[in-house]
Amino acid sequence: MYAVVPYLAFLSVTGSFLNLLVCVVLLKDMRRMRVQDIFLVSISTGDFLASSVAIPIALKAALSSSWPFGLSGCQVHAFLIYTLGLVSITNLAALALEKFLTIVKCLYSDEHFFTRLQAICVVAGLWVYCLLITIPPLFGWARYGLEPGNKTCSLRWDDDGPADDAYYGVMFGGYFILPLALMVFSYFRIFKVECHDRQCKKWQLSHNKRALLRKHIQSAVFFLLLIAGYLMAWTPYTIATLSMVSGAKVSDNGLMIPSLFAKTSFVLNPILYTLVSKRFR
List the one residue out of 280, 221, 219, 192 whose CA is nearest residue 36. Answer: 219
- pLDDT at position 53 is 95
- pLDDT at position 194 is 63
CB atoms within 10 A of CB 264: 18
- Summarised one tens digit per residue, pLDDT across range 2-40 is 788 899 999 999 999 999 999 998 888 777 788 888 999
Backbone angles phi, psi at 245, to 5 degrees: -65, -35
Q: What are residue 153's DSSP bridge partners?
A: 146
Query: Which residues, in sequence order, are CB contacts of 243 under 8 Å at separation 6+?
Result: 250
Reported confidence tier of residue 150, pLDDT bands at 50, 70, 90: confident
Alpha-carbon torsion, ordered 193, 197, 201, 203, to 10 deg: 70
* Most confident by average pLDDT, 110-114, 142-146, 213-217: 142-146
Reported confidence tier of residue 41, pLDDT bands at 50, 70, 90: very high
- Summarised one tens digit per residue, pLDDT across range 240-252 is 998 888 888 888 8
Reported confidence tier of residue 212, pLDDT bands at 50, 70, 90: low
Residue 200 in this model has a pLDDT that exceeds 70: no
pTM score, whole prediction: 0.88
Mean pLDDT of the chain: 85
Residues 203 and 220: their CA atoms lie apart, in Å, by 20
Contact, 15 vs 48, CB < 8 A?
A: yes
- pLDDT at position 13 is 96
Average pLDDT over residues 258-276: 86
Backbone angles phi, psi at 203, to 5 degrees: -105, 135
Query: Helix, strand, or coil here: 35?
Result: helix
Sign of CA dihedral 56, 57, 61, 64: positive
Query: Which residues, in sequence order, are CB contacts of 7 under 8 Å at separation 6+?
Result: 260
Contact, 147 vs 81, CB < 8 A?
A: no
Domain annotation for the chain: domains and CATH numbers: 3-276 (1.20.1070.10)
Contact, 144 vs 57, CB < 8 A?
A: no
